[in-house]
């Protein structure tokens, strides 16, 4: 990588990191929301379904441990959408046009933005996992290390998905509604909060929706990675979804969109 590419990459990452830490409420909400769910939902699941659950890893785990990967993916999903929201804001304010005046290729600049967003998601998830230790989420140390590439890949995919959605939004006010139509269906129609076999017992068509939801693959990829295992089908699904989302996000980006 030449010096100008590296200089551009460092500049974009530094800008995104500084912006993130200036918005302290963003970090606070990213931690409080999943921690609250970890305590409340785990108690509800424990009361409804029992003390523990048998998982494909070949062991029994508590419901705190079961929903932790889903909550990690929720953090990544919200951060990816918020990063896309900032992309819409930058486009409206004109700062995105200034960035794209660089002689470097546009796909490279947008990939740098996605990498910066993925790194911020990784940071938030690591902090959340450290706090999760306080509520009896017992994950092997090796699992934290094997989860890092999975978290980064998931964050890149969800960031690309958010960028693709932001390309369809002309005004900042319209993005909040789109987020609600994406975040909640993706999250609740997945294995983030409840096992798919329980969903299958309740409704077969909801079960198949969850199966084809790429967010389910994200959750399962991270769930296995936290126990030092690799879910090949989930990895393949996330890689394919990442490639598709990245392609359409980069090809459909139009910096001239904005407030009329």
Beta strands 59-62 and 52-55 are antiparallel
**pTM for this prediction:** 0.86
Distance CA 110, CA 253 (A): 9
Instruction: Give the per-residue pLDDT at 58.
Output: 54
pLDDT of residue 83: 79
Confidence of residue 113 (pLDDT cuts 50, 70, 90): confident
Question: CB within 8 A of 106, min separation 6: which ones?
Answer: 100, 250, 253
Q: How far apart are CA 161 and CA 172, in angstroms?
A: 17
Give per-residue pLDDT as tens, 220-256: 999 999 988 899 999 999 999 999 999 998 887 766 5
Backbone angles phi, psi at 10, to 5 degrees: -60, -40
Kindly tell me if the per-residue pLDDT of 259 is higher than 60: no
Looking at mean pLDDT, say which of 98-107, 138-147, 155-164, 176-185 comes out highest: 155-164
Q: Kindly indicate the confidence band of residue 149, based on its pLDDT and cuts at 50, 70 and 90.
A: very high
The pLDDT value recorded for residue 255 is 61
Residue 241 confidence (pLDDT): 95
Q: Is the pLDDT of residue 260 over 60?
A: no
Residue 174 pLDDT > 70, yes or no? no
255 against 84, higher pLDDT? 84
Q: Give yes or no for a contact between 226 and 147, defined as CB atoms under 8 angstroms apart.
A: yes
Average pLDDT over residues 132-148: 84
pLDDT of residue 106: 79
Query: Of 204, 27, 39, 50, nearest to 137 (Cα)?
Result: 39
Residues 19-54: tens digit of each pLDDT:
887 776 767 777 788 888 887 776 666 555 554 554
> What percentage of the chain reaches a pLDDT higher than 90?
25
């Amino acid at each position: 990588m030449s010096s100008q590419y590296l200089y551009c990459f460092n500049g974009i990452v530094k800008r995104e990191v500084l912006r993130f830490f200036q918005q302290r409420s963003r970090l606070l909400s990213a931690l409080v929301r999943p921690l609250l769910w970890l305590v409340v939902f785990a108690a509800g699941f424990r009361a409804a379904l029992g003390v523990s659950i048998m998982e494909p890893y070949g062991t029994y785990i508590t419901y705190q441990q079961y929903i932790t990967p889903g909550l990690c993916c929720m953090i990544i999903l919200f951060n990816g959408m918020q990063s896309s929201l900032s992309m819409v804001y930058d486009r409206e304010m004109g700062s995105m046009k200034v960035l794209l005046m660089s002689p470097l290729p546009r796909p490279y600049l947008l990939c740098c933005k996605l990498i910066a967003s993925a790194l911020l998601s990784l940071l938030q998830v690591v902090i959340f996992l450290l706090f999760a230790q306080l509520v009896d989420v017992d994950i092997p140390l090796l699992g934290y290390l094997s989860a890092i590439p999975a978290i980064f890949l998931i964050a890149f995919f969800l960031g690309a998905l958010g960028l693709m959605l932001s390309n369809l939004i002309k005004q900042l006010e319209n993005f909040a509604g789109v987020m609600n139509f994406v975040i909640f269906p993706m999250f609740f129609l997945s294995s983030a909060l409840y096992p798919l076999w329980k969903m299958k017992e309740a409704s077969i068509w909801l079960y198949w929706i969850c199966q084809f939801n790429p967010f389910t693959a994200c959750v399962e990829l991270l769930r296995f990675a936290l126990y030092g295992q690799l879910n090949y089908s989930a990895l393949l699904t996330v890689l394919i979804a990442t490639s598709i989302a990245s392609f359409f996000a980069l090809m459909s980006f139009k910096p001239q969109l904005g407030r009329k």
